[in-house]
């Protein structure tokens, strides 16, 4: 690759993106996107789909800048409700909740929000640089990933998050199985028939994990708070920009986490058929295993916010790579953008890079500018968002309940989903009371569907033989890696015991729940 | 059901679009007085979705309707959710549906019950117009040894059963139906690997995960231009005489009279008022004549096939009979 040429193109792209009309379009898109990200259920995909008809009146470059800015805004905004109310604004911000919400409850919502926005921005930046210099060759590698490779990567994801939240391993396993069971509900594309829908057409769309997550975490939390003390301990929250600065000072400590999460997230995003949500969970799980403070994850560790947010935004950028280079969508949002290409009179496909320089490099340029503007916008809003936590619980609780309901309904426009949300809210309350961890259920639910599909596609390709996972080198590599990572905690426990019981055997991991 | 997912955004879209479209059109008998909800029975980014999202803004641009058309995806159950949604909208002149062949295949592969317990068929809906026919092309990788259909047929017959793998969209839908037709014509056996959408299917071929696909032209054209895939034959009654597409021989020419075309048509809910049907027929007739649609039709090798009224219904009956007989031959028909 000609480096000088790339720099020249990049400068050209930045120039296109920085022209006043394009800059204005980017700001509008970012604000809209942030609002869309804050509202649970109304995801970035829907936001982009709704704005698509409007882009007809713009030129293609302005149009893609608008839509991608909405996307970046939604990624930034998704973290806000996760951290403040335990309601995931977007699927990929579920993992942000695990440590973000405890931080907010400890009176540090500003720290959690700053960490989320800043790491999201860093993840984006690393991903954009990779995008700029290596887009076409990376797309070639991504094509080598078929169902067996995807399955192996998802297996790795399961490996990294096994034993999340600590506590009783039997209970965690039970919750994992419950999640996997729920994931099988719906229309099965492999057999072409509905499964476990009990005759309900509404259930054919499956049990949406965002609805379950809103119920389990958001509504469940309200029920617990009502019982416990009728207030969320947010009253002490400090609300100044000093907190932004204080949080930034923590960042150098997490260089490795940031770098690892960016690279991981970007690559998972590039692969068609995975996306930002598994990336965020994987990144959280890996950070938990590698961090010295791993056992404290889930109780309000800043690193537990940084890891998933970095990966989610990097994956969001990565998902656009196969769209631009090959005309293949890497995520549902990219699929909608791709539909826009026809409207704007562009031909998506491998020739786009050569035939539409202004468009491609304008998009890349706007990725840089859009994310810089985006992080500035959301950071200035940190004190305002954090102030929400100071609202008395008696006012906040009904508002959160309404937000949960709107979010659950908005996913599919189905009343049934409200009942599912309510049911999982009550279930979440009892699970929490009985010490059953919620994270394994949600993770199994979100990954279960993709994993099963990839597994069955692979077996069909291998004509029923599982050797296909070992005869293909990339798949074999990831399967072995997944098994090793799966065993890592056991090995660690073992070596600890062999070295002599300096601490009682039960002590590690007891910090959870 | 007042509140939809779009909430605020719809209002925004409506305002802007309303401004642009105001003062358009000399008044026909009936016109929509609120936004038209356009149900897409598939996910975002698929063929039906692309067409709806292309046509909706064209309707605004050429001021064909005083109110905007808003595509809404209802993808669950390979169309099941969307079809039953239309039944719930009986008599509503502001609801329309764009279809693909799942309209015939899904109710044949499963018993889809309406609220009154009777079985759903496409005859419950109000046919508005046939717009386009979408073709199917047999694609192999450009580096594969199969230069002609004969090469391919020989390989299919020679190898052990299931050696050649085909990627397709969903299961027991048009892609797999076509594969079964090929199997029966050649006495061969293929391995069918289902994927969630046409884009993923094309990527699987380009990435050499499978040996062939029957992707629609629009799904594979970018890869063809880049020289990564090779078309061997088209499942059409005659060659598509547009641009490079004319190079592709039909299956019939090559000695295998297998044809399959997918409906891209518009339906209304049951008992849609006749004036509303007339309004939509006029809108879509004029959309098809826009230069943007002409480009799209050429690039995707579609056959422009505008048809309404009795002839459309008769065509639908023939199409339904064909799909049902093919599904019966494949053993998927549920009575």
Kindly give, in sequence order, each residue whose CB lies less than 8 Å from that of residue A95, ignoring residues fewer than 6 positions away: A280, A281, A283, A284, A307, A308, A312
Contact flag B9-A47 (C-beta cutoff 8 Å): yes
Pick from A31-40, B115-124, B144-153, B241-250: least confident:
A31-40
Rounded mean pLDDT of A75-100? 86
Which chain B residues in 78-97 lie under 8 Å from chain A, judged by CB atoms? 78, 80-81, 84
pLDDT in tens, A158-189: 887 765 556 677 888 889 899 999 999 987 87
Tell me how close the Cα of B205 comes to any Cα of chain A, in angstroms.
9
Rounded mean pLDDT of B141-167? 93
Kindly state whether residue A225 falls inside one of the protein's structural domains: no
Pick from A84-88, A415-419, B73-77: least confident:
B73-77
User: Which residues on chain A are in Cβ contact (under 8 Å) with B44?
Assistant: 45, 49, 332, 335-336, 339
Contact flag B194-A322 (C-beta cutoff 8 Å): no
Which residue on chain B is closest to A273 by alpha carbon? B200
Model confidence at A323, pLDDT cuts 50, 70, 90, reads confident
pLDDT value at residue A232: 52
Which residue on chain B is closest to A188 by alpha carbon? B77
Model confidence at A504, pLDDT cuts 50, 70, 90, reads very low
Place of tokens 């470059």: A61
Domain membership of residue A379 as a residue range: 3-159+235-410+463-510
pLDDT value at residue B189: 93
pLDDT value at residue B115: 80
pLDDT value at residue A238: 58
Q: What are phi and psi of B25, to 5 degrees?
A: 65, 130
Kindly state whether residue A443 falls inside one of the protein's structural domains: no
Tell me how close the Cα of A39 comes to any Cα of chain B, in angstroms.
10
Kindly state whether residue A366 falls inside one of the protein's structural domains: yes
H or E element in which residue A416 lies: helix A416-434
Q: Is the pLDDT of residue A512 over 60?
A: no
Rounded mean pLDDT of B173-193? 92
For B53, the closest of A194, A343, A351 (CB atoms) is A343
For A461, the closest of B191, B222, B332 (CB atoms) is B191
Tell me the three-class secondary structure of A427-484, residue by residue: HHHHHHHHCCCCHHHHHHHHHHHHHHHHHHHHHHHCCCCCCHHHHCHHHHHHHHHHHH
Domain B36-134+262-330 matches domain B137-247 at the CATH topology level:
yes
d(CA B69, CA B52): 9
Which chain A residues in 86-145 lie under 8 Å from chain B, judged by CB atoms? 143-145
Any idea of the CA torsion for A91, A97, A100, A103, to the nearest 10 degrees? 160
Which chain A residues in 275-314 lie under 8 Å from chain B, judged by CB atoms? none
Contact flag A351-B207 (C-beta cutoff 8 Å): no
Tell me how close the Cα of A121 comes to any Cα of chain B, in angstroms.
26
Tell me how close the Cα of B84 comes to any Cα of chain A, in angstroms.
8
**Domain tally, chain A:** 1
Q: Is the pLDDT of residue A456 over 60?
A: yes
For A192, the closest of B7, B171, B299 (CB atoms) is B171
B45 Cβ under 8 Å from any chain A Cβ:
yes
pLDDT value at residue A340: 78
For B191, the closest of A201, A205, A463 (CB atoms) is A463
Kindly state whether residue A206 falls inside one of the protein's structural domains: no
Q: What are phi and psi of A512, to 5 degrees?
A: -70, -175
pLDDT value at residue B23: 43
pLDDT value at residue A234: 52
Average pLDDT, chain B: 86
ipTM: 0.82
CATH for B137-247 is: 3.40.190.10
Q: Under a CB-based contact definition with an 8 Å cutoff, are residues A55 and A28 in contact?
A: no
Domain coordinates in residue numbering, chain B: 36-134+262-330, 137-247
Query: Given 2.60.40.2470, 3.30.70.890, 3.40.190.150, 3.40.718.10, which CATH number is that of B36-134+262-330?
Result: 3.40.190.150
Which residue on chain B is closest to A45 by alpha carbon? B44
Pick from A220-224, A473-477, B43-47, B179-183: least confident:
B43-47
Please tell me which of A306-310, B168-172, B328-332 the model is most confident about, judged by mean pLDDT.
A306-310
pLDDT in tens, A96-130: 998 998 888 888 888 999 999 999 999 999 999 99
For A335, the closest of B5, B199, B225 (CB atoms) is B199
Nearest to A442 by CA among A309, A316, A280: A280
């Amino acid at each position: 690759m000609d480096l000088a040429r790339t720099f020249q193109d990049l400068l050209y792209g930045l120039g296109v993106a920085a022209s006043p009309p394009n800059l204005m379009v980017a700001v509008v898109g970012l604000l809209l996107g942030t609002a869309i990200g804050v509202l649970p259920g109304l995801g970035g995909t829907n936001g982009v789909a709704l704005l698509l008809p409007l882009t007809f009146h713009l030129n293609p470059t302005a149009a893609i800048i608008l839509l991608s800015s909405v996307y970046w805004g939604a990624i930034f905004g998704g973290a806000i409700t996760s951290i403040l109310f335990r309601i995931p604004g977007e699927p990929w911000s579920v993992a942000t909740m695990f440590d973000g919400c405890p931080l907010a409850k400890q009176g540090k919502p500003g720290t959690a929000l700053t960490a989320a926005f800043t790491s999201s921005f860093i993840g984006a930046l690393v991903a954009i640089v990779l995008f700029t210099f290596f887009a076409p060759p990376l797309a070639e590698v991504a094509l080598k990933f078929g169902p067996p490779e995807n399955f192996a990567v998802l297996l790795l994801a399961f490996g990294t998050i096994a034993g999340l939240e600590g506590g009783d391993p039997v209970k965690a396993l039970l919750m994992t199985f419950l999640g996997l069971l729920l994931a099988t509900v719906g229309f099965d594309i492999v057999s072409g028939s509905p499964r476990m829908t009990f005759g309900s057409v509404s259930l054919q769309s499956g049990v949406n994990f965002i609805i379950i997550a809103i119920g389990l975490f958001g509504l469940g939390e309200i029920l617990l708070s009502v019982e416990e003390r009728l207030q969320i301990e947010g009253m002490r929250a400090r609300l100044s920009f000093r907190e932004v600065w204080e949080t930034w000072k923590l960042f150098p400590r997490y260089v490795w986490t940031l770098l690892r999460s960016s690279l991981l997230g970007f690559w998972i995003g590039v692969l068609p058929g995975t996306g930002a949500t598994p990336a965020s969970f994987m990144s959280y799980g890996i950070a938990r295993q590698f961090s010295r403070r791993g056992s404290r994850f889930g109780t309000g560790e800043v690193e537990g916010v940084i890891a998933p947010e970095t990966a989610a935004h990097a994956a969001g950028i990565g998902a656009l790579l196969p769209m631009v280079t090959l005309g293949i969508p890497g995520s549902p949002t990219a699929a909608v953008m791709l539909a826009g290409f026809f409207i704007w009179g562009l031909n998506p496909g491998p020739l786009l890079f050569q035939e539409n320089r202004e468009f491609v490099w304008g998009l890349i340029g706007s990725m840089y500018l859009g994310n810089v503007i985006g992080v500035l916008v959301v950071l200035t809003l940190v004190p305002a968002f954090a102030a929400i936590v100071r609202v008395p619980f008696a006012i906040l609780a009904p508002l959160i309940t309404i937000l949960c309901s709107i979010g659950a309904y908005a996913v599919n426009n189905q009343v049934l989903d409200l009942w599912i949300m309510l049911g999982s809210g009550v279930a979440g309350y009892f699970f929490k009371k009985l010490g059953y961890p919620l994270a394994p259920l949600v993770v199994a639910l979100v990954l279960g569907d993709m994993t099963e599909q990839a597994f069955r596609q692979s077996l069909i390709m291998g004509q029923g033989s599982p050797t296909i996972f070992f005869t293909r080198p990339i798949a074999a590599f990831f399967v072995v890696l997944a098994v090793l990572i799966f065993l890592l905690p056991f090995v660690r426990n073992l070596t600890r015991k062999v070295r002599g019981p300096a601490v009682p055997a039960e002590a590690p991991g007891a910090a959870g729940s | 059901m007042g509140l939809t997912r779009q909430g605020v955004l719809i209002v925004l879209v409506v305002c802007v679009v309303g401004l642009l479209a105001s003062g358009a059109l000399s008044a026909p008998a009936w016109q929509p007085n609120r936004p038209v909800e356009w149900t897409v029975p598939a996910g975002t980014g698929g063929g039906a979705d692309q067409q709806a999202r292309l046509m909706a803004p064209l309707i605004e641009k050429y001021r064909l309707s005083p109110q905007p058309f808003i595509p809404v995806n209802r993808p669950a159950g390979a169309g099941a959710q969307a079809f039953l949604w239309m039944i719930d909208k009986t008599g509503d002149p502001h609801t329309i549906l764009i279809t693909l062949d799942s309209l015939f295949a899904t109710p044949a592969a499963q018993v889809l019950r309406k609220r009154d317990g009777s079985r759903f068929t496409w005859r419950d809906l109000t046919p508005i117009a046939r717009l386009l026919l979408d073709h199917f092309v047999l694609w192999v990788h450009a580096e594969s040894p199969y230069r002609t259909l004969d090469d391919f047929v020989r390989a299919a017959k020679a190898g052990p059963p299931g050696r050649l793998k085909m990627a397709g969209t969903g299961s027991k839908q048009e892609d797999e139906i076509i594969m079964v037709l090929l199997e029966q014509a050649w006495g061969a056996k293929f391995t069918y690997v289902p994927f969630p959408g046409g884009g993923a299917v094309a990527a699987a071929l380009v990435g050499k995960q499978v040996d062939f696909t029957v992707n629609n032209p629009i799904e594979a054209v970018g890869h063809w231009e880049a020289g990564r895939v090779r078309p061997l034959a088209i499942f059409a009654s005659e060659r598509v005489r547009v641009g490079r597409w004319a190079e592709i021989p039909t299956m019939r020419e090559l000695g295998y009279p297998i044809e399959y075309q997918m409906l891209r048509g518009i339906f209304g809910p049951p008992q849609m008022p006749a004036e509303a049907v007339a309004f939509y027929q006029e809108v879509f007739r004029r959309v098809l004549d826009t230069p943007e649609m002409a480009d799209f039709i050429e690039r995707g090798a579609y056959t422009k096939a505008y048809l309404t009224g009795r002839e459309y219904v008769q065509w639908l009956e023939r199409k339904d009979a064909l799909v049902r007989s093919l599904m019966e031959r494949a053993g998927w028909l549920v009575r």
